[in-house]
Chain A
């Protein structure tokens, strides 16, 4: 299965700043996704990262707040912009290579905003 590296693994940030999270996969994959897991909650899909084009966002998430890039089939970034304490969550990258293949997750980025 694909090996997914997410950086940073954790960070503590000041209110109003932005942080970019990187997701690197060791092989080319069809689809990449970004999820958020708020404290004590299950996972919520933020967006699908599309290679070479704008990401597709789920209801409640907007590009200005969560800009996403995917320049190739092995790499994507998620930026959390103008952070507030409500953005304190674990952010997870996931990948799947084909419609009948299992989806795999990175270890996540634990983000705390002061």
Chain B
């Protein structure tokens, strides 16, 4: 069974700082990995999907990397804003997503 770990569990930064969120997984036989954000009491919003053939995927201020051999993915958020405050989750897809506990991010003005 796939085990997903996210570090740190929580992160609080002042506005403008860059964020680095880490995700590790035990089964490297994945073919892609997806990052989500969840606002309190809401569903999940898909941020990025990295295919196993890619090493990076970028969308605006977001950049995600994937290293299958080490079982790690990292989400970078540049120049953080208060609107980035949310819980960030990673999951190796393929239908039956296995989620870690997420990283709760607070960006203070």
Q: How far is the CB of B78 from chain A (nearest CB, A)?
A: 22
Given A42-B101, A43-B99, verify A107-B43 contact (CB < 8 Å): yes
**A45 close to chain B: CB less than 8 A:** yes
A69 to chain B, nearest CB (A): 19
Closest CB in chain B relative to A93 CB, distance in Å: 9
Q: Does A33 contact B (CB under 8 A)?
A: yes
The secondary-structure label for the interface of chain A is strand
Per-position binary interface string of chain A over residues 20-60, scored 1 when its CB falls under 8 Å from any chain B CB and 0 otherwise: 00000000000101010000011111001000000000100
Which of A43, A45, A103 is the one whose CB lies under 8 Å from B46? A103
A105 to B34 alpha-carbon distance, docked (Å):
12
> Would A42 and B100 be within 8 Å (CB), given that A100-B51, A110-B41 are in contact?
yes
Report how far A69 CA is from B94 CA in the complex, Å: 21
With contacts A42-B89, A90-B41, A92-B44 taken as known, whether A103 is within 8 angstroms of B99 at the C-beta atoms is no
Interface core residue of A35, A100, A103 (most chain B CB under 10 Å):
A103
CB of A100 within 8 A of CB of B43, answer no
Interface SS of chain B: loop
For residue B6, which residue of chain A has the nearest CB? A42
CB pair A103 B93 closer than 8 Å: yes
Is residue A19 within 8 Å, beta carbon to beta carbon, of the partner chain?
no
What's the least CB distance linking B46 to chain A, in Å?
Answer: 5
Do residues B46 and A1 form an inter-chain contact, with CB atoms below 8 A? yes
Q: Is A106 a contact partner of B96 (Cβ separation < 8 A)?
A: no
CA distance A105 to B97 in the complex (A): 12
Interface 1/0 per residue, B8-32 and A, CB below 8 Å: 0000000000000000000000011
The docked-state distance in angstroms from the alpha carbon of A45 to that of B94 is: 13
Least CB distance, A52 to chain B, in whole angstroms:
17
A-B contact pairs, 11 of them (CB 8 A): A42-B89, A43-B99, A48-B95, A90-B41, A92-B43, A92-B44, A99-B31, A99-B94, A101-B49, A103-B91, A103-B97
| Residues of B bordering A, CB below 8 Å | 31-32, 34, 36, 41-46, 49, 51, 89, 91, 93-102
